[in-house]
């Protein structure tokens, strides 16, 4: 496992990390979580991603119980969580990044994790009603109080991120240091265009999610939706259109041929492709079984096989232009 600095911070994250979205509580209890997290940790993973909204808070509880059983030295791993949607429908409690919600949110998350602090907190989505300055101050305070070490954004626009950075710099506050965008062969927009500016100029890090496009890039949906997959889960019906899109499935079939040519699985190729981008600090992988963890971790060994020639073949399939160095 290789490690990359999280933007211009002094913290390093494993290039492949492990996230709990969809799986923890919904598909994996504490026992399975322990097995998968242990497999990832043994492979060199030091970053474990979560969010308060995942499984209505239960994902954090499962991870907290798993960490309690694993008894790892606290300094040896990183944990993240995110705030925006909230867990209740009351006024000031959902779809917001107001100061009250953020401070109450971190306190509740720490209880579920059974931790004194988390390493990273994110604003899970932008808030169009709360002034960005209020959010920046609240996140700064949470870091100042030692309840989190760093903070960042997820799925914010480039202009919103730059505004947050500039507010923090103007008031000498802890500024956001990392974005968590969706990034995969089907979704590349948040690593291009205006976003390049803050990755380059501000040294912003990125912890990308859905590198396998919710499993589409594993090939398991080529013949329909398996009953044990996330595409069949209650509450994830919105995924079905993407997972059964004939044009996307045709591209996946072509990509599979390229994977076979370089001697790896389809999912390993998709993960390694993400790692070719120098703006990517870590690729968040997910799994519902420990065997999937083992397979995903092997993607780190595939990166060097993705030569410029291979990238050009991938470009031809997806109709985009990428460079070998990711610029």
Does residue 49 surpass a pLDDT of 60? yes
**pLDDT at position 219, please?**
87
- Average pLDDT over every residue of 85-101: 97
8-35 pLDDT per residue, tens? 999 999 999 999 998 988 888 999 999 9
Whether 327 has a pLDDT exceeding 50, the answer reads no
Q: Which residue has the higher pLDDT, 245 or 314?
A: 314
- How confident is the prediction for the chain on average, in pLDDT? 92
- φ, ψ dihedrals at 215, nearest 5°: 100, -10
pLDDT band per the 50, 70, 90 thresholds, residue 244: confident
What local confidence, expressed as pLDDT, does residue 251 receive? 95
Mean pLDDT of 61-87: 98
pLDDT given at position 325: 44
CA distances from 238 to 39, 74, 82, 247 (A): 31, 37, 22, 18
Structure tokens at 24: 């923890």
- Residue in 76, 68, 131 with CA at minimum distance from that of residue 99: 131
pLDDT digits (tens, 9 = 90+) for 189-242: 999 999 998 899 999 999 999 999 988 999 887 656 655 555 555 665 656 566
Question: pTM of the entire structure?
Answer: 0.92
Active site amino acids: 54
**Cβ proximity of 207 and 47 under 8 Å:** yes
Q: What angle do CA 30, 31, 33 make, to 5 degrees?
A: 60
Strands (E), the chain: 3-5, 12-14, 16-19, 47-49, 78-83, 118-123, 148-153, 178-179, 205-208, 282-285
Q: Say if residue 321's pLDDT is above 70.
A: no
Instruction: Tell me what pLDDT residue 4 has.
Output: 98
pLDDT tens track for 94-142: 999 999 999 999 999 999 999 999 999 999 999 999 999 999 999 999 9
Of the chain, the percentage scoring pLDDT greater than 90 comes to 84
- According to the model, what pLDDT value does residue 326 have? 42
């Amino acid at each position: 496992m290789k490690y990359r600095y999280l933007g211009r911070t002094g913290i390093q994250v494993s290039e492949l990390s492990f996230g709990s979205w969809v799986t923890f509580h919904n598909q994996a209890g504490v026992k399975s979580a322990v097995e998968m997290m242990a497999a990832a940790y043994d492979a060199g993973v030091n970053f474990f991603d979560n969010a308060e909204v995942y499984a209505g808070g239960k994902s954090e509880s499962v991870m907290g119980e798993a960490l309690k059983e694993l008894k790892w030295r606290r300094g040896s791993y990183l944990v993240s969580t995110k705030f925006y949607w909230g867990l209740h429908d009351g006024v000031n409690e959902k779809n917001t990044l107001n100061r009250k919600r953020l401070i109450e949110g971190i306190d509740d998350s720490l209880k579920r994790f059974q931790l004194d602090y988390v390493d990273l907190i994110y604003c899970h989505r932008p808030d169009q009603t709360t002034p960005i300055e209020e959010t920046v101050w609240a996140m700064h305070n949470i870091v100042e109080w030692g309840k989190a070490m760093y903070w960042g954004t997820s799925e914010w626009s480039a202009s919103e991120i730059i505004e947050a950075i500039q507010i923090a710099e103007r008031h000498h506050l802890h500024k956001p240091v990392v974005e968590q965008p969706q990034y995969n062969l089907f979704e590349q927009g948040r690593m291009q265009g205006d976003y390049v500016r803050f990755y380059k100029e501000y040294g912003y890090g990125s912890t990308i999610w859905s590198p396998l496009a919710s499993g589409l890039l594993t090939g398991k949906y080529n013949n329909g939706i398996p009953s044990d997959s996330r595409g069949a889960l209650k509450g994830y019906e919105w995924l079905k259109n993407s997972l059964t899109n004939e044009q996307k499935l045709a591209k996946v079939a072509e990509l599979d041929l390229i994977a076979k040519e370089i001697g790896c699985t389809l999912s390993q190729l998709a993960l390694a492709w993400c790692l070719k981008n120098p703006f990517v600090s870590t690729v968040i992988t997910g799994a519902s079984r420990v065997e999937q963890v083992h397979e995903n971790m092997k993607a780190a060994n595939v990166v060097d096989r993705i030569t410029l020639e291979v990238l050009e073949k991938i470009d031809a399939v997806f109709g985009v232009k990428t460079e070998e160095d990711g610029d």
